[in-house]
Amino acid sequence: MSIQIEETLRCKLFDGIASKVWNDINHHHKVKIDMPEIGITSQIIADILTYRINFEKNFDVYTNKAYDENTYGGDIDVFVETDPNRYRWFALQAKALKHNKKYDTIRYNGKSRQQWESLRILENMTGCKGYYLLYNGMHTAHSLKLNTDSCYRMFADEQFGCSLVKLNKVEEVANKKHPNGNYKTPSYDDFHPYNAQPWRTLVCCYLDKGEERQTLYALEDIERIVKIIIQRKKTLT
């Protein structure tokens, strides 16, 4: 449970990244061009790492490209400092909205394990928290009504440029079928506004540690944890 707003530079950073992604995708979709997820993710990683270098921080945030998406289901790892040198690990699987307002790779038919299942394995192994990170942008505002995030802070739709969806909700939506038995392709409206949160809630809120039940890592431990995952890979493939 998120209980309070934390006004920090990293909060403003995540806020700004989401707005930029929303506007960039919107710009491309106006001429029916889809933005590749991998390019958006790389830009976000670069923006966060540049922030770490250039600004003094009251609380840190660190990120890197996730290790072995095929096995563990993530595209980007975000480590959020909640106490001095104590970081929470968020493993995020990124999907970019297409100009038809759908996400066409949330379900991979024919695969023995879906990405939400791989993220759950990683959660159990490491104490991280997995989410889907959806990149969005719309031609017009989805709604004129302002929404309220879990920090109890009002936000406009552009904050859904980077939105978080829980694994259970993604699985529920991805398993819906048409009357003919084929799986439906999840759409923007399947998740927004009621089943998604702006990703800034990772860094703008004080999190209830008891409810989240996440492992806290020292920054110097992060590389060691990745090595442990590499050693265990053979048991998962």
Give per-residue pLDDT as tens, 13-59. 999 999 999 999 999 999 999 999 999 999 999 999 999 888 766 77
pTM for the full model? 0.90
Query: Where do the domains of the chain lie?
Result: 2-235
Cis geometry, peptide bond prior to residue 84 (ω within 30 degrees of 0): no
Using one digit for the tens of pLDDT, what is the confidence trace for 86-142?
A: 899 999 999 999 999 999 999 988 788 999 999 999 999 888 999 999 999 987 655
- Residue 156 in tokens: 């406009």
Residues 6+ apart with CB under 8 A from 182: none
**Helix pair angle (115-126, 222-232), 10° resolution:** 120
CA 4 distance to own-chain centroid: 20
- Residue 196 in tokens: 């998604």
